[in-house]
Chain A
């Protein structure tokens, strides 16, 4: 009896609470939360951009003026000259583009082999490729460095790129996709007398375009932002990447020229950021694929 009498009152209490909650958490409230989160989240980037446009006397002012200053091009020019930014951006682009393409080619062919053929040792090969997930650079850094040294690949683009060509993420991504291609397509190709490579080129690759774009974007950003590997094997003028160049910009005996550093950081961020903005859709699709896996 007791239970029965107390239950309804409990119910009313929580219904009231719900009504309160529903009155507070309206779409307007959610929009307000999202807007303030956005402002908080993007403020550091926005403020860094402001500093990049200001002269020291402008950013020393307090309270700060949240408007762009007058010195943007001048700051970029100084940063450009101090660390040879053009060269750095060129080097980093070469590295990021070749690794992204290399990873796509190698993972498309590997995934095609796994899905469309039966062969001995398939499981072992598959595990071998997956194992790269368990072996991040710090786990094998000393011997890998020594190997690059023996190959005489120190300060070369080969050393910066080739060790990154294998991609477990890519193989999983394309393998997942190829399993969903209707078998009738491959049957039709065989009846028409098309070989597997022809089928790969004219049917499978065109179907892979969205995933290729997603993988390109993810791997381009990943390589553009590499730091440890380029620092230990390619820290010469000819092969230096932009992240390491920025370190030179902050390494001064005097106080750091933040307006110059932020101008350099802005240039160093533009290529991946612009690519991200342009290719947004494929990233979202790629991410959801990644999560489903």
Chain B
């Protein structure tokens, strides 16, 4: 318990700037998003008609919105599960009291400094259908003609790989830190009792690592849904067709290119519900299962 100072108004003054900014730029606009989602707004923004839940029923029947939900989830599943599985596998294999671990960590964190947009550009260059090194190798080694500019599935794979790649180093560092803080006695006891390496991993290491895994799961999920707009905008622009039209990208197109602000606000509310669900999951899970120490 800290000592308290007796001043009565000072704490309000200290908090005021933060609270004012949160209210003006976060809370009020979010409430307005909800309000706007019940209206149809003319393109010039001068006429508003109350239409109840029509924006939401339209969303659920709009094939292009359903497409962007599916695309977003496919993308997120790749980024989160493939990304986490790969980084966990690397971390488990490399988890020794390695000399020079600091050097690996120093270099692994480099891609953290890249923006998703630049990560996208780097991969777009390597995957370029006519001169890209990676697309060239794919053709020579496996006979795959990789063209993210014309093939929708390949385009989705391309942005997923670029996005997951940017997070790999960050994930590996957290997994290694998590693994090195595990109690070794349990693993040794299990080995003496005759549990094999595979079994020890699933029965002991994996559950004990779950706080780290869960933290990374939340960070990667938020990243996959909310922080990859630049990656899509600078490379595929949602195409070819609408194959990489992630939810945030579709929201931008409808709200700022189509000027359909009511409809875009309804999409904002769908995203709000998703963040709220993640937050509830975070509180529940953090409260019940992940704390072992």
Contact among B125, B174, B194, B248 with A138 in the assembled complex (CB-CB below 8 Å): B248
* Complex: chain A residue closest to B199, CB-CB: A14
B44 near A: Cβ within 8 Å? no
CA distance A198 to B128 in the complex (A): 59
Q: Mark A174-195, 1 if CB is under 8 A from B, else 0.
A: 0000110101001100100001
Place the interface of chain B in its size category: 35 or more
Report A242-293 residues with CB < 8 Å from chain B CB.
243, 246-247, 250, 255-256, 258, 261-262, 265, 268-269, 272-273, 275-277, 280, 283-284, 287-288, 291
Residues of the A chain whose Cβ atoms lie less than 8 Å from the Cβ of B104: 34, 38
Contact among B90, B113, B177 with A272 in the assembled complex (CB-CB below 8 Å): B113
Residues of the A chain whose Cβ atoms lie less than 8 Å from the Cβ of B121: 48, 246, 250, 261-262, 265
Say yes or no: B4 contacts A116, CB within 8 Å.
yes
Q: Mark B252-284, 1 if CB is under 8 A from A, else 0.
A: 100110000100110011011001100100000
Q: Mark A220-253, 1 if CB is under 8 A from B, else 0.
A: 0100110110011000000000010011001000
* Complex: chain A residue closest to B115, CB-CB: A225
A115 near B: Cβ within 8 Å? yes
Say yes or no: B33 contacts A59, CB within 8 Å.
no
Q: Mark B75-114, 1 if CB is under 8 A from A, else 0.
A: 0000000000000001001111011100011111111111
Q: Mark A104-138, 1 if CB is under 8 A from B, else 0.
A: 00110110111111110000010011011111111
Say yes or no: A42 contacts B110, CB within 8 Å.
yes
A31 to chain B, nearest CB (A): 7
With A128-B23, A268-B118 in contact, do A116 and B3 touch (Cβ < 8 Å)?
yes
Majority-rule SS of A interface residues:
helix
Residues of the A chain whose Cβ atoms lie less than 8 Å from the Cβ of B36: 142-143
Report A166-218 residues with CB < 8 Å from chain B CB.
166-167, 171, 178-179, 181, 183, 186-187, 190, 195-197, 199
Say yes or no: A138 contacts B197, CB within 8 Å.
no
Complex A-B: 12 CB contacts under 8 Å: A27-B99, A34-B104, A42-B110, A131-B22, A136-B275, A139-B268, A183-B1, A186-B3, A225-B114, A247-B233, A256-B128, A261-B125
Interface residues, chain B, CB within 8 Å of chain A?
1-5, 7-8, 10-12, 14-15, 17-19, 21-30, 32-33, 36, 45, 90, 93-96, 98-100, 104-118, 121-126, 128, 130-131, 133, 136, 165, 168-169, 172-174, 177, 191, 194-197, 212, 215, 222, 226, 229-230, 233-234, 247-248, 251-252, 255-256, 261, 264-265, 268-269, 271-272, 275-276, 279
